[in-house]
Amino acid sequence: MKKDLSRVFDFIFVGAGISGPFIANDLCKKGCDCLMLEAGKLFTRKTYPSNGLDGTSQLYWSGGMELGHDCKLAFLRPKVVGGGSIVNQALVDRFDDAAFNSWKDASGVDFFNVNDMEHWYDQAESEIVIQEIPAEFRNKNAEIFDQGFKNMKYQNAPLRRAQSNCYLEEGNCCIECLNGCKLGSKQSTPETVLKEALENDLTLVPEIEVTRIIEKDGDIKVIGKDAKGGTATYRAKNLVLAAGAIGNARLLLNSGFNKKVTHIGHDFYCHPQFMSFGLYDEKINSHKGAFQAFKSDDKGFRENGYKLENVYAGPEGLALLVPGFGIPHHRHMEKLAHFACIEVCTRDTNPGQIKVNRKGKALIRKVQNAEDLSRKAKGTKVIEEIFSSTGAKQIIHGQFGIGLHLMGCCPIGTDSNKSVIDPEFRLHGFKNIFCADSSIFPNAPGINPSLTIMALSKKAAHSILRSL
């Protein structure tokens, strides 16, 4: 890392999650002088937290989870160099016509169609390794998912994961990689594009939380706070916002940009996800081996606005979801090895909003309307059918929903009154402030977002370089 941070950089990036490193790598390759500021810590394969509790407290904002105003949904927001690519399940899917058509309708942006995006998906996929879990390594939880789909005549498909080699034959359990992959198999940005960007002279400074952005006559000043509360100012000709949906909204609101761009903080979506557990007589050991192998691939589910996933979580997460207190809760937890798990992920229709309080803290307002609740109910009914058809003795529903796919708040669009980012990935009215991360999503696609964030970031890098 270069020491001199007082120079005027070509670009400052706020956030080293997925989008930031994807854009920075392409700009650095072309010789741009880039500085990347990230609030979270930099870990290596050897230093990732070794258990779920440490992982939750060290890799996320607010020590693990943030709650919406009515406490009905919990939001997981990564805070670590690599962002979501460190903690996520690394499932990568391209969007379909249904997702892009609704984006085009909402935004007026023409390139939202499968054909125009194909090139950018190809470019994104060329930066990472993608694999399916070989059939011989599917665990018992995956087998129940598959068997239940067959019993009920629903369509499923193998998951595509961004991973290179998990050496499953050696008994590795992929659930550990939710705290950072110690094998370097998961294709997180520190293992892929961020590594390359650093080789191409990117300056990365972890543990700096950007608190304010000042734009004056085309010059950018960024104020950052370090872990001890000290502040520093960094300067650049251009800025790339890559702090995610809540991060970008919070920063832009705290910096007063909403006086000019009034839509900042609106159109927040999160694909609310609800886990249910089937309790079986025999041990399922859902945490063992490749803990996820299948997804739903049923036209009817897609039309009804939900999908099902073969998932699991660490005991610290499950303990929060399993209902009850004291002895009844303890009795359930004792049987964890007998749990199978399926999650319904809804394509939410009711936009939420991010605001900030007087201390600059993000306030999350996200209500599930009748349509969203009905999508959840339909998916949950299918889960019950699957568990019942495969011999579950009891079905337990998690007690609250989780938002993992945080999207929107700075939606892209042609109309500056209804959007925040223009089709050239610029903040409306600002020539030198760019954004292409999850915050630009115009609505919820109902499909895993990260591959599309990578594809849009490749497109944005191309667009930025062309404009320079």
* Residue 427 in the binding site for ligand FAD (CB under 6 A): no
Q: Using CB under 6 A, pick the residue from 55, 64, 68, 83 that binds ligand FAD.
A: 83
Q: Using CB under 6 A, pick the residue from 25, 56, 58, 89 that binds ligand FAD.
A: 89
Q: Which of the stretches 36-44, 131-139, 329-337, 354-362 binds ligand FAD when contact is defined by CB under 6 A?
A: 36-44
Residue 437 per-residue DSSP state = S
The distance of Cα 8 from the centroid of its chain, to the nearest Å, equals: 31
Residue 133 per-residue DSSP state = P
> Amino acid identity of 397?
H
Q: Using CB under 6 A, pick the residue from 39, 193, 253, 456 that binds ligand FAD.
A: 39
* Residue 124 in the binding site for ligand FAD (CB under 6 A): no
Give the nearest distance from C-beta 358 to ligand FAD in angstroms.
17
Residue 91 per-residue DSSP state = B
Tokens of 43: 């870990």
CB atoms within 10 A of CB 174: 27
Q: What is the residue whose two structure tokens read 């989780």?
A: 402
CB atoms within 10 A of CB 380: 19
Q: Using CB under 6 A, pick the residue from 24, 239, 243, 354 that binds ligand FAD.
A: 243
Q: Using CB under 6 A, pick the residue from 222, 450, 455, 459 that binds ligand FAD.
A: 450
DSSP string, 267-292: EEE---EEEEEEE-SS---TTSSB--
* Residue 354 in the binding site for ligand FAD (CB under 6 A): no
Q: Are 192 and 92 in contact (CB under 8 A)?
A: no
- Considering only residues 254-283, where is the footprint of ligand FAD by CB under 6 A? none
Q: Using CB under 6 A, pick the residue from 59, 73, 76, 194 that binds ligand FAD.
A: 76
Query: In the complex with ligand FAD, which residue's Cβ is closer, 58 or 390?
Result: 58
* Residue 433 in the binding site for ligand FAD (CB under 6 A): no
Measure Cα distances from 26 to 83, 250, 303, 465 in Å: 19, 27, 37, 9
Q: What is the residue whose two structure tokens read 């999503």?
A: 441
Q: Using CB under 6 A, pick the residue from 52, 68, 244, 398 that binds ligand FAD.
A: 244
* Residue 296 in the binding site for ligand FAD (CB under 6 A): no
Over the window 166 to 205, marking each residue x when it contacts ligand FAD by CB under 6 A and - when it does not, the resulting string is ----------------------------------------
Give the nearest distance from C-beta 242 to ligand FAD in angstroms.
6
Q: Which of the stretches 9-17, 318-326, 351-359, 423-431 binds ligand FAD when contact is defined by CB under 6 A?
A: 9-17
DSSP string, 326-384: HHHHHHHHHTGGGEEEEEEEE---S-BEEEE-TT--EEEE----HHHHHHHHHHHHHHH
* Residue 362 in the binding site for ligand FAD (CB under 6 A): no
The distance of Cα 197 from the centroid of its chain, to the nearest Å, equals: 21
* Residue 449 in the binding site for ligand FAD (CB under 6 A): yes
Q: Using CB under 6 A, pick the residue from 26, 146, 191, 209 that binds ligand FAD.
A: 209
- Name the helix (H) or strand (E) containing 408: strand 407-409
* Residue 454 in the binding site for ligand FAD (CB under 6 A): no
Query: In the complex with ligand FAD, which residue's Cβ is closer, 311 or 392?
Result: 311
Provide the b/e sequence for 307-319 (b: ≥16 CB within 10 Å): bbbbbbbbeebbe
* Residue 251 in the binding site for ligand FAD (CB under 6 A): yes
* Residue 37 in the binding site for ligand FAD (CB under 6 A): yes
Q: Are 342 and 420 in contact (CB under 8 A)?
A: no
Give the nearest distance from C-beta 381 to ligand FAD in angstroms.
24
* Residue 38 in the binding site for ligand FAD (CB under 6 A): yes
Q: Using CB under 6 A, pick the residue from 34, 35, 91, 236 that binds ligand FAD.
A: 91
Query: If binding means CB under 6 A, how many residues of this protein chain bind ligand FAD?
Result: 37
Contacts of 24 (CB under 8 A, 6+ apart): 11, 13, 34, 36, 193, 194, 197, 202, 240
CA distance 461 to 19: 10
* Residue 15 in the binding site for ligand FAD (CB under 6 A): yes
Q: Are 395 and 280 in contact (CB under 8 A)?
A: no
Give the nearest distance from C-beta 280 to ligand FAD in angstroms.
25
- Residues in the site for ligand FAD, rule: CB under 6 A? 14-19, 37-40, 76, 78-80, 83-85, 87-91, 209-210, 242-244, 247, 251, 404-405, 437-438, 448-450, 453
